[in-house]
């Protein structure tokens, strides 16, 4: 930042936008009133005194008024939020501060417009060899998500494995992020050479989601847990009580010290399940 240059506060930025568009305070008040009327919600309205306070006294507008400002000034909503210290591009980082105990679909980032990705790799990088990928990245950059559309595949959805979901432990550790191929929503039948070859499915039940091996017999589906997890096998009506969202085809999980929460009990023994 150049010395002696004072950054504009949010109110000043809003006033600058208004003046650039040739709008008066009354113009903004009238437009916001029309928006409020259309949505039948007075929270979208901005009266003259409040508008003046926002522009000159640093008063923080409500989320409804921020929407009105963005609409009236033809400004990106996320940009206006960033003026008030809300950077939606930081959601992925801030999500680490909570670890939901139940498995679920992760939809928090569906509309985040930008992503930080590696934009330059070390020339010595060889994708055929195992390496520390972090050391191979020479530069990170922020790019609009629209530029990543070439990687989009409508078959895939993404999920988070809850910290209390031990169904596929130790193959899938709680806290893992999963890639689900929704086109593979039918149970495959075959002979598997090992447990790692057998397909794992992401299943939606009435009480939530889980990952497991599956087998279907008529109108019954068996949700098979890993034997070492000690989670009981569940047999449900299919598809009334359990629906297969798709097959787990990718996983990202930590291997350096996943720990059960202190308040949880130890894994039950097999004898206690009988």
pLDDT of residue 44: 97
pLDDT tens per residue, range 136-173: 666 667 666 655 555 566 778 888 888 889 999 999 99
**Percent of the chain predicted with pLDDT > 90:** 54
Strand order in the sheet with 242-252: 104-105, 156-160, 177-181, 242-252, 201-205, 208-217, 220-224, 234-237
pLDDT of residue 96: 79
pLDDT of residue 274: 37
Domains and CATH numbers, the chain: 10-83 (1.10.260.40), 98-151 (no CATH), 156-258 (2.10.109.10)
pLDDT of residue 111: 73
Output 14-23 pairs: Cβ under 8 A, ≥24 positions apart: 14/54, 14/55, 14/69, 14/73, 14/80, 15/55, 15/56, 17/73, 17/75, 18/55, 18/73, 21/73, 21/74, 23/72
CA distance 56 to 50: 10
Q: Compute φ and ψ for 152, nearest 5 degrees.
A: -70, 135
Residues of the chain with pLDDT under 70: 1-7, 114-119, 121, 125-140, 142-153, 257-274
């Amino acid at each position: 930042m150049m010395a002696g240059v004072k950054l504009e506060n949010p109110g000043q930025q809003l006033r600058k936008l208004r003046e650039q568009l040739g709008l008066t305070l009354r113009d903004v008040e009238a437009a916001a009133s029309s928006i409020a009327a259309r949505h039948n919600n007075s929270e979208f309205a901005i009266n003259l005194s409040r508008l003046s306070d926002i522009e000159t006294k640093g008063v923080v507008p409500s989320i409804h008024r921020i929407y009105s400002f963005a609409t009236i000034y033809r400004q990106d909503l996320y940009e206006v939020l960033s003026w008030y210290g809300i950077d939606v591009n930081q959601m992925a980082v801030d999500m680490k501060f909570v670890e939901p105990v139940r498995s679920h679909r992760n939809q928090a980032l569906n509309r985040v417009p930008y992503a930080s990705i590696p934009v330059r790799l070390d020339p010595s990088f060889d994708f055929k060899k195992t390496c520390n990928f972090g050391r191979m990245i020479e530069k990170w950059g922020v790019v609009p998500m629209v530029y990543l559309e070439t990687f989009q595949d409508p078959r895939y959805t993404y999920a988070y494995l809850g910290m209390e979901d031990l169904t596929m432990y130790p193959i899938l550790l709680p806290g893992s992020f999963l890639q689900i191929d929704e086109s593979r929503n039918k149970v495959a039948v075959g002979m598997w050479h090992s447990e790692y070859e057998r397909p794992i499915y992401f299943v939606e039940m009435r009480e939530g989601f889980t990952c497991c091996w599956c087998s279907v017999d008529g109108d019954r589906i068996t949700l098979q847990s890993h034997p070492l997890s000690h989670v009981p096998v569940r047999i449900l009506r299919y598809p009334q009580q359990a629906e297969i969202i798709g097959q787990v085809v990718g996983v990202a999980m930590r291997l350096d010290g996943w720990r059960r929460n202190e308040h949880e009990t130890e894994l039950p023994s097999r004898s206690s399940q009988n």
